[in-house]
Structure 1
Amino acid sequence: MTILVTGATGNVGGQVVEQLVKRGADVRALVRDPSKANFPAGVEIVQGDLLDVDSLRKAFAGVSTLFLLNAVVADEYTQAVIALNIAREAGIERIVYLSVIHSDRFVNVPHFAGKYGVERMIEHMGLNATILRPAYFMDNDHTIKDVITRYGIYPMPVGSKGLAMIDTRDVGEVAAIELLRREQSSVPLPMERINLVGPDTLTGTDIAALWTQALGRPITYPGEDTAAFEQNLRQFMPNWMAYDMRMMSERFITDGMIPERGDVERLTEMLGRPLHAYGELAAQIAASV
């Protein structure tokens, strides 16, 4: 029996592949460019694209369980709809889908709304799936480490409500556990949703304080100028994506990303260890600069 991982060369997908291999699973990785694939021995690599129906049919043949990850791209929803239809056509009855926390509430944020649409499709199609709903990935802050270390500010407008940011290693391991739970079940399991959160709910000021501790010098949180945030993002991403990120940050400010009661305890029990904390990330980056 084979587990197919989409988005396998990305941060989360790569973690999923690694964790599945550690657990002895038969893994197939769907990649657009095989030259970029660097997987453990034994992983089957198939070339394809989520908008290429023929390549999906080939990749999905003989697959028992699917991990569906769609990157934040303009046609994300279309990719997911096609993939799920082809999965059903191929007789795949076990699915783990990577959505996002509060997808049903942050509906003015384009990529949240898209993921919620996919969740609803899964439900209405009667597909047997675990829907993983991660909070903001703390690993994303690797991309702003130079701003933090050079200018002494934490620039993400995360607000004062708090984000329960999660490490992608925890996301990948929970995904692997769920994939194998479904794979090894004698019957398809009912639909389930799991919030993926970190151990701490941190405000912008909290995060700046962790950086201050890690670097041994003051790091400040300048506040929530989301218009300036969007303009800065436009320097290295398409304007639609920069706008999407602005809408997300504004919901951080008004709502935060707050765990539900029992989320942290549930994940800790699943993993059999504590969740990775943001302070670990800050300390790791500080040690490398």
Structure 2
Amino acid sequence: GDEFTQAIVTLNLAREAGVERVVYLSVFGADRAVEVPHFAVKFGAERMLRQMGFGATILRPTYFIDNEAMIRDVIVDHAVYPMPIGGKGVAMVDARDIAEIAAIALIRRDAAPGPLPVETINLVGPDTLTGAGLAAIWSAVLGRPVAYGGDDPSGFEQAMAGTMPRWMAYEMRLMAERFVGDGMIPEAGDRERLTAILGRPLHAYRDAAAALAGPAARAAG
């Protein structure tokens, strides 16, 4: 809840200490999803980096594939994909790709003779996934039908309120409304830029789903 205060304090301390080069983990669409608190916070920090004169790489990842661990049991035990992703599509990204891009950006800025210009990199996955498409992937991984739970973010909020503070569950609903309404769709050249930086393909959702399913997937196979 106090992430923005932490960002302000951290960047002020960094400037006082003479730090000039920063790699900052923001979020995809931070400049547009201003009604979602943890998106608005990220965009505020982006503005600070620019206005305070840091040389910065701003990383804007989409929804993390790794977050699916939180709903794994619902999918496997109840055959429902519960996250309201919608039909526009979300290009979910693997945290391993985020970490490697971040490390490359840190090394590049550290090795540069002086501060480099501010750059923004969208971090996306290789596939733009819909709710129905995700249910189909899990059906294939598990070898049995998995249904999509639908596009209702309010139902998702109610479910999340049982496992997290209500204010956070409300924020998750606002995020889900963005997924359903706008999606998280890569811009032209985003994927090509990432594969060029990494020198390899991006990690795919289906492989992560199979790893998450574990014995359930192997049994189905």
Name the TM-score class by shorter chain. Answer: over 0.9
How big is the shift at 1:127? 1.1
Aligned mates of 2:212, 2:103 — CA distance in 1: 27
Deviations 1:97-146 (A, max 9, x none): 00000000010111101111111111111111000000000100011110
Aligned mates of 2:153, 2:199 — CA distance in 1: 38
Identity %: 60
How big is the shift at 1:283? 1.1
How many residues are matched? 216
- Name the residue aligned to 1:186: 113
Deviations 1:14-52 (A, max 9, x none): xxxxxxxxxxxxxxxxxxxxxxxxxxxxxxxxxxxxxxx
How big is the shift at 1:227? 1.2
Deviations 1:188-244 (A, max 9, x none): 101000000000000001101110110000001021121111111111111111111
**Aligned match for 2:208, one of 281, 284, 289:** 281
- Name the residue aligned to 2:196: 269
Trace 1:120-131 onto structure 2 (pairs within 5 A). Answer: 120-131=47-58
Trace 1:51-90 onto structure 2 (pairs within 5 A). Answer: 74-90=1-17
Q: Does 1:102 align with 2:29?
A: yes
SS in 2 for 1:200: coil
5+ unaligned residues in a row in structure 1: which ranges? 1-73
**Aligned match for 2:142, one of 202, 215, 225:** 215
Aligned mates of 1:188, 1:286 — CA distance in 2: 44
SS in 2 for 1:97: strand
Amino acid paired to 1:190 = P
Q: Which has the higher contact order (CA 8 A, sep 6+)?
A: 2
Aligned mates of 2:95, 2:212 — CA distance in 1: 16
Structure 1 consecutive aligned stretches of length 4 or more whose deviation exceeds 4 Å = none
Which has the larger helix fraction? 2
Amino acid paired to 1:200 = D
SS in 1 for 2:90: coil
Aligned mates of 1:130, 1:217 — CA distance in 2: 43
- Name the residue aligned to 1:92: 19
- Name the residue aligned to 1:29: none
Trace 1:1-289 onto structure 2 (pairs within 5 A). Answer: 74-289=1-216
5+ unaligned residues in a row in structure 2: which ranges? 217-221
SS in 1 for 2:80: coil
Deviations 1:178-197 (A, max 9, x none): 00000000111010000000
Aligned mates of 1:206, 1:153 — CA distance in 2: 13
Aligned mates of 2:80, 2:208 — CA distance in 1: 16
Aligned mates of 2:112, 2:6 — CA distance in 1: 28
Aligned mates of 1:229, 1:104 — CA distance in 2: 24
Amino acid paired to 1:139 = D
Amino acid paired to 2:122 = N
TM-score (norm 1): 0.74
Aligned mates of 1:180, 1:227 — CA distance in 2: 43
SS in 1 for 2:69: helix
Aligned mates of 2:215, 2:14 — CA distance in 1: 43
SS in 2 for 1:201: coil
SS in 1 for 2:147: coil
TM-score (norm 2): 0.96
How big is the shift at 1:288? 3.3
